[in-house]
Structure 1
Amino acid sequence: WSEERYGSLDGYAQDVIDICEELDLRDVTFVGHSVSAMAGVLAAARAEERFARLVLLVPSPRYIDDGDYKGGFTAEDIDELLESLDSNYLGWSATMAPIIIGNPERPELGEELTNSFCRTDPDIARVFARTTFLTDSRAELASVRLPTLVLECAQDVIAPQGVGAYVHASIPGSRLVTLDATGHCPQLSAPEATAEAIVTFAAPPR
């Protein structure tokens, strides 16, 4: 790991390509969650021959509002979030995880995500957070030529529904599915519905 490599999504996209090349993978269905969905978009644009389709789970090409584009956060929101993370990573994790999960009646989900955050090296987490929240990958979406499924949640404060609609409108021929789920991690809060949507889209016809 190096801060220089992972200071942009390019490093993560190259990781995906490196794995595909090392294992000589083809006809890949890439499933990416949140900002990782955008890493998959970048990887597919650079090595399209390796990929068959993309599944973008609550993707966000930009988290900061920009004119008519509503990413969910103001620039001031993101500055405060990053400052909080820099000053007290464990406290930030305990505060943010329940917000990200968005299911207060199921506190065990927030605890699971908090524990995951707390197992991460804080220095690496800080770089990842800046890469995530300050990136703008909107221009990359139009380059996607693969069958693409965009999955959004009915309620998600991290990637609101308008973001899913934007991604869908920006990728020619993509399919948009709104899950009856709350929060930014439907793979945790609504795993059956999430899996069903992915399998329906990605499973080869019999």
Structure 2
Amino acid sequence: MTVNVLKRNNVKVLGTGSRTMVLAHGFGCDQDMWRFIVPGFADDYRIVLFDYVGSGNSQLDCYDSHKYNDLQGYAQDVLDIMEALDVRDAIFVGHSVSSMIGMLASIRAPHHFSRIVMLGPSPCYVNDMPNYYGGFERTDIDELLQMMQMNFIGWASYLAPIVMNSDRRELTEELEKSFCSRDPHIARQFAEVTFYSDCREDLDSASIPTLILQCSEDSIAPVEVGHYLHSHLKNSTLRQMTAKGHYPHLSHPAETTVLIKEYLAANG
């Protein structure tokens, strides 16, 4: 059976520019999370939005627990979308785990990418001391996954305010609602794949120039992670944001837009 990739991933194409910008959402989210960012780029770029299978309005019947038991399964979907739209030399903007998904995709097919923007990225969430601080002990993640399995709604209401880290209650409520709208089994597998992933060995293979946007007071990707990425990822630029939390494209869209535009203007 031939899969219609554009329907599978609920792909939307906006904007009027000649260059393509692909916006990839993070765990527990969907393409609507980019709505405050899109207007700043729509006049200059063809913007591609999509939902990972299991998120948003993607086709749930296309979910394959074996395929999506690894970030490479999601990277393949990114490449499928780019092939379907004949995308070349795109600017890929990935939030959170999508930063690594985009990087993995770029290693496999670099011709699709010209620049990567990583928003709150982490190559590994688990501490590997004394040489690496990811922000979590493995037991922390075990407990988080157990909470998801035992009380999915309770997990969402517990995590949303911590990771949003914003005084704007409506954003926290939106994130909690987004978490709760997911299929619990799919969400738990995506969380497990995300938080147990380790892309540190892949960094040496990445060649696409990259902007790392490091958020302040980010409970998911601490400052040490941003510096680690910058020191191990060639052709990378690190910018420290004043935005707090893990969702600056929601809480601080103006700063996010400005930093991306400054980077692209300075780097062709």
Using the size of structure 2 for normalisation, the TM-score is: 0.74
Aligned partner letter, 1:138: R
> Aligned in 2, Cα 1:131/1:205: closer, same or farther, shift over 3 Å?
closer
Match of 1:149 in 2: 211
Answer whether contact 1:45 1:144 (CA < 8 A) is retained. Answer: yes
For 2:214 and 2:89, locate their aligned partners in 1 and report how far apart those are by CA, in whole Å.
24
Stretches (4+) displaced over 4 A: 203-206
1:5 Cα deviation from its structure 2 partner? 0.8
CA RMSD of aligned residues (A): 1.3
1:173 Cα deviation from its structure 2 partner? 2.2
Q: Secondary structure at the match of 1:135?
A: coil
Match of 1:66 in 2: 128
Aligned partner letter, 1:84: M
CA displacement, residues 86-114 of structure 1 (integer Å, 9 cap, x when unaligned)? 111111011101111012x2221110100
For 1:141 and 1:55, locate their aligned partners in 2 and report how far apart those are by CA, in whole Å.
15
Aligned partner letter, 1:126: R
User: Which of 165, 171, 174 lines up with 1:112 in the alignment?
Assistant: 174
Aligned partner letter, 2:226: G
Answer whether contact 1:29 1:202 (CA < 8 A) is retained. Answer: no
Q: Secondary structure at the match of 2:230?
A: helix
The higher relative CO (CA closer than 8 Å, separation ≥ 6) is in 1
Match of 1:187 in 2: 249
Extract unaligned runs of 5+ from structure 2: 1-62
For 1:202 and 1:24, locate their aligned partners in 2 and report how far apart those are by CA, in whole Å.
22
1:204 Cα deviation from its structure 2 partner? 8.0
Residues paired across the two proteins, number: 205
For 2:75 and 2:134, locate their aligned partners in 1 and report how far apart those are by CA, in whole Å.
22
Answer whether contact 1:13 1:43 (CA < 8 A) is retained. Answer: yes
1:28 Cα deviation from its structure 2 partner? 0.4
Does residue 126 in structure 1 map to residue 193 in structure 2?
Answer: no
For 1:69 and 1:78, locate their aligned partners in 2 and report how far apart those are by CA, in whole Å.
16
Does residue 102 in structure 1 map to residue 136 in structure 2?
Answer: no
1:201 Cα deviation from its structure 2 partner? 1.6
For 1:129 and 1:114, locate their aligned partners in 2 and report how far apart those are by CA, in whole Å.
15
1:122 Cα deviation from its structure 2 partner? 0.8
Does residue 19 in structure 1 map to residue 73 in structure 2?
Answer: no
Taking only the aligned residue pairs, the percentage that are identical comes to 49
Extract unaligned runs of 5+ from structure 1: none
Using the size of structure 1 for normalisation, the TM-score is: 0.96
1:145 Cα deviation from its structure 2 partner? 1.2
User: Which of 124, 128, 138 lines up with 1:75 in the alignment?
Assistant: 138
For 2:105 and 2:155, locate their aligned partners in 1 and report how far apart those are by CA, in whole Å.
30
Aligned partner letter, 1:94: S
For 1:129 and 1:81, locate their aligned partners in 2 and report how far apart those are by CA, in whole Å.
9
1:188 Cα deviation from its structure 2 partner? 1.1
